[in-house]
Amino acid sequence: MPLETLPSAKSLSSQARSSMSLLRKRPTQAVAAILFLSLFLGACGFTPLYATRGQNEGVVASLAAISVQAPGDRVNRALRVALEDKLRANSVTPQYRVLLESSLSEANVAVQQDTEVTRKNLMLRTQFFLRDIETDEVIYAAKSNGIVAFNRVASEFANIIAERDAEERVANQVAEDIHSKLAIYFERQNVSPDAR
């Protein structure tokens, strides 16, 4: 772009000032525009996924009525606990069960010339199945993947701690993704546990 066509700093400053003065002179128009946008978003069907009132109460109630089953190793336990926390599973009698099948793998990311590994990726691949407890039918199935990195140093103890921390982080990442997918499923089904 030629230099002659670029706006000067002075003209940009005056444009910004004139925009601000328009807002000061016409506050009712600004308020009207904001109201119009909010009505427009509501009319097009936009609703926050995690809202806790109105139609989404059914989604929240359905998520809370899910029990989580996972194999007993450390990473799957962390994934189960993180998912239960996100689902806000409570003392409600479960009406759904989600079964988690996970595999954890590592990949070397940074290898020095002396073949010492200084950084690794930890990948958690999870397939999950949502079952209706009443019919024992799989009503939804999907996959979720997570990846995190951790550094390796000379201290073996520090490496163990870093790897365990990475396992917790990847479990939280996958739990968040599973939670989102389940919430979207229930939102699309418009199902609440009481309406079954």
Query: Which pTM was predicted?
Result: 0.68
Q: Is residue 48 part of a domain?
A: no
Residues 151 and 165: beta-carbon distance below 8 Å: no
CATH number at residue 88: 3.30.160.150
Q: Is residue 50 part of a domain?
A: no
Low-confidence ranges of the chain (pLDDT < 50): 1, 52-55, 192, 196
- For the stretch 111-139, pLDDT in tens is 777 777 788 999 999 999 999 999 999 99
Which neighbouring-strand residues pair with 126?
Answer: 102, 144
- For the stretch 28-52, pLDDT in tens is 777 777 777 766 666 665 555 555 4
Instruction: Report which of 76, 93, 71 is spatially closest to residue 167, judged by C-alpha positions.
Output: 76
- Calpha distance 102→171 (Å, rounded): 10
Strands 96-111 and 117-132: antiparallel
Give the CA distances from residue 66 to residues 20, 56, 77, 130, 162, in Å, rounded to whole numbers and listed in that order.
Answer: 51, 16, 16, 9, 32
At residue 192, the pLDDT reads 47
Write the DSSP string, 33-68: HHHHHHHHHHHTT---TT--SGGGHHHHHHHHTEEE
Domain range for 182 is 55-195
The reply to whether 17 and 95 lie within a common domain is no
Query: How many structural domains is the chain composed of?
Result: 2
